[in-house]
Structure 1
Amino acid sequence: MRLRDYFHLNVWLLPILVILVPIMLMVFGSSYLTTPNTYYLTVLEDGWSVQYDKISLSDTKLSEINLGPSRKGDSIIFSNTIPTEHVPSACLMFKSVLAVVTVSIDSEVIYTYGNEYLESGKMIPKHYNFIPLNKLDNPEGKTFTIKLVSSENNAFSGIPSVRYGNRYDLEQEFMQGKRLPLFVGCFLCMFAFILLTLSSYLYMYHSHDLSLFFSSLISFVLGAYNLAFNDIFCFLSDAESFFTFLEYITLYLVPFAIIAFLISSHPELNSRINTIIIIINILFPLIALILHFTDIIHVNIFIPVLHIIAIAEAIYELPQLVLNIWKEHKDKINTPEYTGITSDSLLVIGLAFFIVCSVIDIIKYNILKLFFGGAEAYADINFMTIGALCFVLTLFLSYFYHGIEHMNAVYMKDHLEGLAYTDSLTGLMNRAKCMQYMASVHGKFAIISIDMDNLKTVNDSLGHQEGDRMIRSFADIMKQSFVGSSLIGRTGGDEFLVAIENPDKDICEKMIADLKTRMQIFNKNEKNINLSASCGYAYSYEADENDASSVFVLADNRMYKEKETHHQAKLDRFVNDIFGGSESDERRQ
């Protein structure tokens, strides 16, 4: 079966993955695994009083408030009433983004966050604020006020939602709502580790191809960004500054990882413009990192710049890649290696899907920020999450298909070489292959020279068709007798050659004896032709120069000595048949 046919029979792997992944996503993202809350839990959506700049609102919803891009030092104050339902270990929970937080109940401050960062000039990280109410006497029905002070320009444009309930229930609800990004993020990070391990091995022992390394970088930055953006790190760890920084820096590394991967896997994209793009993608996160840690400009400021860079590079790179893939597809479609779909085609589909998903989330984020408010509080990256997962899966599939293509190419190469070096009548190696082998063999080896007897007689008396059958029959017996040899070849009409590397003691004698035994068995069952052969062998240590030519000459000379013996035996039998044994008796005397 051709490899192409084998490939087509196994394309069922692709639909299985296409079906399995959405099922897993639906399970992790649905409510099937959701555990109900133990106590009362609610989102305080209605009845808010809000003061911002010169704006004063009452009895409003937080999600409907558009503050516009905030400026450093801007403050927003919003207040509401604690629900009357009593809850053990009751808490208020809300998320703050780059802001100083002050919470008071009936004008008494009970909670603050972020002042120490602001005083030291550091960036205030994202933070989930839990305000415990169990220390207060009968907090139900009391008025609480939250004040947010922006520590950065464009820190936020809306007010985050506020929840009330038991702390355990609040934490459980958060984690259950983050099952999908948790699954995708962990999968991408683990897949990145596998790719990194594989790329290190391949780089050291097989090639200097870096595409697999950049594949692992893509998978890691997408996985880490997914976990950081969805606040899983910040929620589970106290190292909020680090993980807030990680969210931004991994996002800034995405363009570099993708462009570097494309150029390393498609050398035709290695142009001067792409070199400049790579340099920009390296300098951008590096400059952001330096400015951030020197507290000159914090890392969050560069988000609009990233959006511009990402969209511009997508517009420039993707058409080039699609055009190159189309050209390669047209070149391969009529070749024996063509399998109906290429690894590059899969990769482009996955990359295009990821880019489209990312652009949707970028547009959605900016629309929320500019026109509706709350981009930082309510925006998600669900499209980018699904796009990242699909891209990494197509990345994996592209390597799978690349392996198929490579095996197919090797198969075709071996097949063509087989046609060039195989004797069409016997299936043994031909003279050209024998000469090539003799020129390359070294070390310890043995050579057997064989000359099949009576071929000319059979051709003259029975015809060349029977002569060809005689040669094929002898070749089949040779294949059985010389199992384990390095080469079995036909060097001429009735001349054959066998080579054995690292031969055991007396291996040639044993193989030749087996050959003669099999010929005797064949002759007992054959009426028209009779197989016999003259054999000579030599070991490499027997020749003075210890090269294949010298060893072959020695083996060939010994073969001719045996052939002369065979001729003399035939002559003796012929004379004996004519003279009734008198002549042969005289010879023996």
Structure 2
Amino acid sequence: MYKKSIHQNVITLIILFIAVTSIMLFFGSDAFSSKSAVSLGSLDDGYSISARNETNTSVKLSTFHIKNIRRGEIIRLYNDLPEDEIISPTIMFITYLSTVDVYVDGKLVYSYGHDYYNKGKIIPKKQHLITLDDKDKNESLEIVVVAGENGAFENFGPIYFGTRKDLVKSFLQKHRLVIFIGGFFIMYACLLLSLALYLTLQKKRALSLLASAGVGIIFGTYIYAYEDVFCFISNNDYFFTILEYISLYFIPLAIVLTIYSVQNYKAGIIQKIIEAVNLILPIIFIILHVSNKVHLSRFPIAIHILCVVDILFLFPPLVKRLYTEFRKEIESTTYTGINAFSYLTFGFISFMVMGFIEIVKYNVKIYGNNPDNFLTRVNYLTLGSLYFTICLFIYYLLNSIEHINSQYVKEQLEGLAYTDELTGLINRAKCMQFTKTLESPYAVVSIDLDRLKLVNDTYGHLEGDKMIRTFSELLSKAFDGASLIGRTGGDEFMVIYESPSANVCDKAIRTLEEYMAEFNQKKEKFTLSASMGYAYSSELSTMGFNDVFYLADSRMYEMKEKHHA
């Protein structure tokens, strides 16, 4: 059973992984791109680049790299604008943490970032869209970039040339997958927040949903900020640059808190210390940035180290916990064949692996040879975040289904344990359990079926069983609306009303007597009659169930004596 469940879950997860990856690759391919956007020009060849008292000519911009750049260093790029017949030509490029001045034929046409630089603030990442005059075609282009931070950048992104409309359209098409994934995270978070609000109003636990919603918001925000989508929504570049770093720095804490809240996991001392560091460190970074001591852009390496520590000390116990829960679940008596823990574990491990690959890629890019290929262009953190969130969503879905199914199985098992096999009524054990939860006011009816022993002795136990079943059916029908109808012994029955209305017991007893009289006209081998007595909790000052039941039972025996007189 255990191995079979493992194999089924592994196969399902592999299929899920392949399906999601294939859909993303197809959706992000050029299959949906229009020709107008694809045919845009890219100014990549023929540059003269001046840096560090050296000038390199005939440079391909995409292959140019500069290591260990310092604040204040100046890079100058020279090229000629193309002669394309484009009305209101526009150039588009991105810069990181740097000022930019653009000259056309020696004339300054665009400037950005100097106010931030002069005030010692972090210069926002910026996607520049610069519209030129029609007469600027075939003129010389000079772009002057001044680094605003140590290690602000190491290379230059492509510079595109075309109309503003086509440039924006091209950007949106190339970021189609990113926009979809970020939107998925935001909608996912809104859905969970709505559900958490509903559960909170219902006074139910919603911590895990709030934590998961926080993860969705952080992931969506980081992806949109990192991939420059916000640049086309608002011109508040400073805010979105800060938002990118803050969301990145809180990702480790958000993931850990989500897993802990979902699993109700109690961390050890070391884990608690590391959790505190996950919370305190980003807050310290923000304080240092707000006080203009150290900018947020200086701390990615510190966060990477923290992530590695998380992977080594926090994640293994969590994975072990998930595995233990998975094994406990499939070995439980209420296991229904659905296991949500495997999906949560897979999503968690996927995020760890993808996050670690992204850390390695970042540091290779900074300190290594920075190869430019498909593998280095993939954002592994985005992929890991998507896999984790999808698996978390599936976990919630399957966990809900599993809870409903296991609850049904539990109810069925409890039904077998607490139901009288002969009559289908509640048995004595459940009756006693129910009475312990009673709160006043209530009413108790004690019932004893007459002449059962005589029928058993005269016609046999089969006929006696038939007598009990027939009486039980009439009892259930007459006392419809009672909180409990149970068989407490061979010929003994009990009925309980919670918050009873006036004369409810009298009415039900008279109805039962009418049903029995109607049955007795059928001339079966046996006739039905019963001795009944009832009592209300309001009749006794003590209001203890045993006292109330004793009073009802005493009245039942008074009637029984009359029947046998």
TM-score w.r.t. length of structure 2:
0.88
Q: Is the 8 A contact 2:69 2:154 kept in 1?
A: yes
CA distance 1:532–1:95, change in 2 (3 Å): same
Q: What aligned pairs does 1:221-240 form with structure 2 within 5 A after superposition? A: 221-240=218-237
Amino acid at match of 1:354: F
In 2, the alpha carbon distance for the partners of 1:181 and 1:38 equals 18
Tell whether the 8 Å contact from 1:64 to 1:372 is kept in structure 2 after alignment.
no
Structure 2 letter corresponding to 1:451? D
1:301-340 residue CA offsets vs partner (Å, 9 max, x unmatched): 1112222221232233332222233333334433213344
- Whether 2:114 is the aligned partner of 1:115: answer yes
Q: What RMSD, in angstroms, separates the aligned Cα atoms of the two structures?
A: 3.1
Whole-angstrom distance in 2 between the partners of 1:43 and 1:230: 19
In structure 2, C-alpha distance between the alignment counterparts of 1:401 and 1:433, rounded to whole Å: 31
Partner of 1:443: 440
Instruction: Tell me the distance in 2 between the aligned counterparts of 1:313 and 1:557.
Output: 69
Q: Is the 8 A contact 2:84 2:137 kept in 1?
A: yes
Distance 1:223 1:335, change over 3 A: same
Which is worse superposed, 71-80 or 339-348? 339-348
3-state SS, counterpart of residue 37 of structure 1:
helix
Cα deviation digits, residues 369-409 of structure 1 (max 9, x gap): 3344599xx96553322321221121122223333444455
Q: Is the 8 A contact 1:103 1:147 kept in 2?
A: yes
Gaps of 5+ in 2: 1-11
Compared CA separation, residues 413 and 34, structure 1 to 2 (3 A): same
Any stretches of 5+ residues in structure 1 without a counterpart?
1-12, 569-589
Judge conservation of contact 2:329–2:339 (CA < 8 Å) in 1: no
Verify the 8 A CA contact 2:89 2:164 in the aligned structure 1.
Answer: yes
Which residue of structure 1 lines up, in the alignment, with residue 451 of structure 2?
454
**How big is the shift at 1:53?**
1.9
Equivalent residue letter for 1:537: Y
1:42 aligned partner: 41
1:510 matches 2:507: yes
Give the equivalent residue in structure 2 for 1:323.
320
Q: Distance in 2 between matches of 1:399 and 1:242?
A: 34
Q: Cα gap change, 1:429/1:253 in structure 2, threshold over 3 Å: closer, same or farther?
A: same
Q: What are the within-5 Å matches in structure 2 for residues 433-512 of structure 1?
A: 433-512=430-509
* Structure 2 Cα separation of the partners of residues 288 and 59 of structure 1: 42
Partner in structure 2 of residue 577 of structure 1: none
Superposed, which structure 2 residues align to 1:6-155 within 5 Å?
Answer: 25=24, 28-31=27-30, 33-37=32-36, 41-134=40-133, 138-155=135-152
Q: In the alignment, what sits opposite 1:367?
A: 364
Counterpart in the other structure of 1:250: 247
The 3 A distance-change label for structure 1 pair 293 and 539 is closer
For residue 537 of structure 1, the aligned residue among 525, 534, 547 is 534
Paired residues, what number?
A: 553
Q: Secondary structure at the match of 1:68?
A: coil
TM-score (normalised: structure 1): 0.85
Residue 258 of structure 2 corresponds to residue 261 of structure 1: yes
Change (3 A) 1:16 1:450: farther
Tell me which residue corresponds to 2:9.
none
Q: Which amino acid counterpart does residue 88 of structure 1 have in structure 2?
A: I
Q: Helix, strand or coil for the counterpart of 2:299?
A: helix
**CA deviation after TM superposition for structure 1 residue 156, in Å:** 0.5
The aligned counterpart of 1:171 is 168
Distance 1:478 1:501 in 2: 18
Give the deviation of 1:98 after TM superposition: 0.8
Alpha-carbon offset, residue 35 of structure 1 = 4.0
2:177 paired with 1:180: yes
Match of 2:8 in 1: none
Q: CA deviation at 1:448?
A: 2.3
Moved more, 124-133 or 379-388: 379-388
Query: Could you tell me which of 403, 407, 430 is aligned with 2:400?
Result: 403
Q: Deviations over 1:239-259 (max 9, x none)?
A: 111100110111011111122
* Alignment check: 8 A CA contact 1:262 1:269 kept: no
Aligned-partner residue type, residue 270 of structure 2 = I
CA separation in 1, counterparts of 2:317 and 2:543?
58
| 1:567 aligned residue | 564
Per mean C-alpha deviation after superposition, the further-off stretch among 530-539 and 304-313 is: 530-539
Q: Deviations over 1:327-372 (max 9, x none)?
A: 3333443321334453332211101112222222332333333344
3-state SS, counterpart of residue 367 of structure 1: helix
Shift of 1:300: 0.7
Alpha-carbon distance in 2 for matches of 1:306, 1:25 = 28
Moved more, 251-260 or 354-363: 354-363
